[in-house]
A and B are shown apart, each in its own frame.
Chain A
């Protein structure tokens, strides 16, 4: 029986400032040590000033994960020495005097399971260590404090996972959730980090740290299960320890058990008063919280008749669901959802492409309406879509400039069909007995008309011609 628990660190990248000072929360665009101040670098005499929005956003995460939020929260010091920690203590949360962290006792459903959330806490990120020089002798440890003080939400689960696959699913749900809430952008490097702990058959717990990505956590867990199982088979006891994921060799390696010797001597951070979170505040946050992914999915299916698969893809992608929300009306919702998930998502998927997208909600609704009203075929719609994405021009302009209008009149269609008949004589004789070949002929007509032929009318005329032969 495998038991896996997770410790996830999520940066609140959507905040403007750090957790305890007014330096920028998203440090990624700064040159080394240019995003620091006396507070985040722990200069003598500096004092932490808690960020109000950070507490609100952390409370939203707690609520979205089904957690309870206490009326008062407190902060603690975790004391240890490390060069990336400017004060040589981290300001974090700790449930010493009852529940005092921002959330506890929640649950997240994935597939057929429910993963229990033990607690959620707000804390500050340390700085980053960089190593210069390659050989042992010339190697310097250099520190960049730009990241020090960035707001983090730590999410600790119960060891409810049974397989690495469940872990992966959960992490995807979590990433979509924090993006949907508008608290974090999980695509940013380092925004979402995971440590795991795993035990098999009621054996000792092993912690896995230093895993770079979600893909890697699944690999690391697989490796670890195999490793532990092989030890167990040979009757060798599995030591409780911390292991690091070796990215290059794709294995876990035992870290020095110095970690066990740590005594963090937690005590209350006296520079930060206990924060009162009144129920009126919780109500306001709940009211203004963005609609959850599962709620959107339900709505798409029930209200607009959008198929399950499409609804799933659309609801879990914040960028596209936002676009959908601005574009749809009762009638064309299903068509727009289809256009987005089938066509658009395929060729506009990188962050850069999305940010520079020239397509507007109006484009989408115009396109959907044009298809539904038979002004252009679905095939033409695909072409038009590509052009919109490239140029941003209004749909009407594109339809006329690319001549995408339906070929609707019988006589011109008839001429095209005659051309096709003369080119495809073999297919024509086959078509009299085989209905699939009729579709082939329709396809050829579509080709010739660059997708503009009215498919229903085309089929009709072909059938008539075949019959009359």
Chain B
């Protein structure tokens, strides 16, 4: 059983404002209870699924400019900066 505050904390971590999103807490709790089925699974090994690649197949270190007008296709301030909300 997870606590309500912990679900609210998770929403804060992911920057979702839960104000008038109350019903989500209930639904998330129900889904998490279902996830507890994982406790019953007992894997034999501690290994994980991984993909591998040899060093020499990696990208070569070359400078290739992209379109220098890219900033104009994004939200921008005077076609130079991106505006962000105030940082405290």
Contact = CB atoms under 8 A, between A and B. Distances in A.
* Complex contact flag A–B (Cβ < 8 Å): yes
Interface of A: 15-17, 22-25, 31-38, 41, 49-56, 72, 74, 81, 83, 97, 129-130, 139-145, 263, 265, 268, 270, 273-278, 281
Interface string B63-88: 11110101100101100111111110
B55 A23 contact: no
Interface of B is mostly: loop
Given A140-B77, A143-B82, A273-B52, 16 more contacts: A17-B64, A22-B66, A23-B65, A24-B65, A32-B80, A32-B81, A34-B68, A36-B66, A36-B71, A52-B55, A53-B61, A81-B15, A97-B48, A273-B53, A277-B55, A281-B55
B31 interface: no
Contacts of B13: 263, 265
A277 B58 CA distance: 11
B54 interface: yes
Contacts of B71: 32-34, 36
Contacts of A56: 55
A355 B61 CA distance: 24
B3 interface: no
Given A33-B80, A142-B82, A22 B52 contact: no
B50 interface: yes
B77 A142 contact: yes
Given A41-B74, A83-B84, A17 B55 contact: no
Which of B48, B52, B82, B85 has most chain A Cβ within 10 Å? B82
Contacts of A24: 63, 65
Interface of B: 13, 15, 48, 50-56, 58-66, 68, 70-71, 74, 76-77, 80-87
A52 B62 contact: no
30 contacts: A16-B61, A17-B61, A22-B63, A23-B63, A23-B66, A24-B65, A32-B81, A33-B76, A33-B80, A33-B82, A34-B71, A37-B70, A41-B70, A50-B58, A52-B55, A53-B61, A56-B55, A74-B50, A129-B87, A140-B77, A141-B87, A142-B77, A143-B81, A143-B82, A273-B51, A274-B51, A274-B52, A275-B54, A276-B53, A276-B54
Given A83-B87, A145-B82, A16 B62 contact: yes
B83 A142 contact: yes
Contacts of B70: 33, 36-38, 41
Contacts of B74: 41
A144 to B, nearest CB: 6
Nearest to A127: B82
A22 B84 contact: no
A31 B81 CA distance: 10
A219 B80 CA distance: 37
Contacts of A276: 52-55
A275 B58 CA distance: 9
A254 B85 CA distance: 23
Contact of B50 (A129, A141, A273, A281): A273
Given A273-B53, A275-B53, A276-B53, A52 B66 contact: no
